[in-house]
Structure 1
Amino acid sequence: MSHSISTTKYIIHGKIEVEGIVEKPDVVGAIFGQTEGLLGEELDLRDLQKTGRIGRIQVTVESEGGKSHGKILIPSSLNRVETSILASALETVDRVGPCTAHVVLEQIEDVREVKRRQIITRAASILKHWEEDVIPETQEITHEVLQSIKVGEIQKWGPENLPAGPEIENSDKIIIVEGRADILNLLRCGIGNTIAVEGTNIPKSIVELSKKKECTVFLDGDRGGDLILKELLQVAKIKYVLRAPAGKEVEDLTRKEIIRILKNKTPVAKVLKEPAKKRDKNKKQKKQKKYQQAPSSKPKKGKKEITDIPAPLAKGITQLKETLQANIYDLDAKLTETISVRELTDKLAGYKKDILAIVFDGVITQRLVDIASEKNVKYLIGARKSSLTKIPQDLKIVTFDQISHSS
């Protein structure tokens, strides 16, 4: 609704009831007439209107059944005290012409409060639009910047072309991780002195590197991380060990989690004591596997002959040569699945069915031996084998050339 003064602070809302038929000018005249001289010259309605301190008095009147009723609005730029006095004076009007009247104050509307609510609503709308369309999140900016440089920073290192961070050569301290994705995540946190083992067999270049630099391993908090740690501790010189929380992978950790883990790195001497305690505890829950030391030199020809391999397994060797595939056999020596050698370690770690044998066109590593033993596999047959530090007594480890000698 429009009002006659632009500096309106308050609007007085009144309700009028008249015992008779009256019109708008009658009501306005009664208000001016009955309040004249009532409040002194400073609050005289006509003077206030002339000086612009109140606006035009607005009245609406309707007549029905010989009576009239309506609304009265008075815009005011007076202060709260003066406006309150004016509102109470309005209620003193008791006649309109010859008719009895009754005026009641309904409310004093604070125009500035209405404007404040409008400002808040509009400001919220502006801010929402600004945040969505104008100002990208800090995290988004950081992500975009790092995304644009991180791939270029990863390099290939050593004869095995292992993924490594840009500071691998210059830093005298390095962090060994499992794979390329771990290096990418650490790069997002500004950590570039990293290198990945990339697979189940620890590369010789990492073994040599560990002799020259202070090495920390940072591995996933799962069984795979446990097995890689075992291998590293056997062949490389490690000073500290870092692990992701149980069930989590390094590539999925947030910056805060990574920084917290780096601050709480564990000396390798402490880690070496822990497995013994865990094994003692597991004896009560599960029969422990018996291990024998692997021979330090190549076996004699007489010991290479393998004569008790089930025929289906021996037959599978011919089919698998030069394929980089792996066959999994059930307890009846029936072929149940053929998969890529690259998938074998992860697949086997999560396998639920009973397995008699695994025949594959690849290298038998210590990690694969440990998993196969854990799954109660009886035969592990590969194209060749790496240096094994321990061999379970109830697992037959055979290479392709041993089968050919015995057949």
Structure 2
Amino acid sequence: IIIPTSLDRVSTALIAASIESINRVGPCSAKVRLDKIEDIREARRKDIVNRAKEILHKWNIESMPSVDEVYKQISDTLKVGKVGKYGPENLPAGPGLEKARDIIIVEGRADIINLMRCGITNTVALEGAKIPDSIKKLSREKESTALLDGDRGGDLIFKELMQVATIKYIGRAPRGKEIEECNCKEINKALAEKIAVNRPQKPKRENRKPEIQIQISNVVKALEGTLEAVLLDGKLIQIERLPVSQLAEKLQKTKDVKCIVFDGIITQRIVDMAAEKNIAKIVASRISEAVKPVLNVDLITFKTVFA
């Protein structure tokens, strides 16, 4: 006998007990025993919960990537992209060159690959000391930064670029190091410390000669053969005269120096200190061949003063 009920538990239990008390149905003896009381709502809730578990389990299996898939996704971000080609010369180029508004010009294919490892893709390589026509054209169309090796080869390429291409910034690897050897920290530092290139250099040089001859030639004459140095301010007024042997030490302590004139050789140490102190001119007997030029410091020899 199945008896549905919507009564509360007390009433339902009372009905069940009453039915069990029946011992006769018509002329026949009868015995009624309660088999079970089932809450249909609770049963349906269990069915719903079990089904929800099945759906969630299946969903997790289908949507959650496996460990191998996760590993592959992460490792793919470390892979270096493919080096492309640019122009009729088939120059090595990074995959982001075409879409980039500003570009980085480097010396060779190995430099391109090293920059791509650091996430820099707007690159193109010269592949030689001769500047390709594609680079000349590209440098006119996009803002160009030359990122060159910190050796004499980089110096020569920079001079060639300045003559035939439109370069806005120049960045260099650490002295004696190539771009392909630099780590990402050194590359990012070189780009962060890039120097704006002052294009109108020739007119400045033409106007500079008379100024040097008039205001510095007397100082040069007085210093020749003395192994001494003179520090001048922005108006070319003498600040101090001292032996050349004390020049480097004095520059570290002295302010407001804008020009150095000395009877000696311009070394890389003096050039670096001048750049750090914002000294505009260095005039000396001659320039060491190992010196790396700095864009904001003019290096002048005594011979140039009297030319």
Q: Which has the larger radius of gyration?
A: 1
**Higher percent of residues as strand:** 1
Of structures 1 and 2, the one scoring higher in RCO (CA 8 A, sep 6+) is: 1
TM-score (structure 2 length as normaliser): 0.42
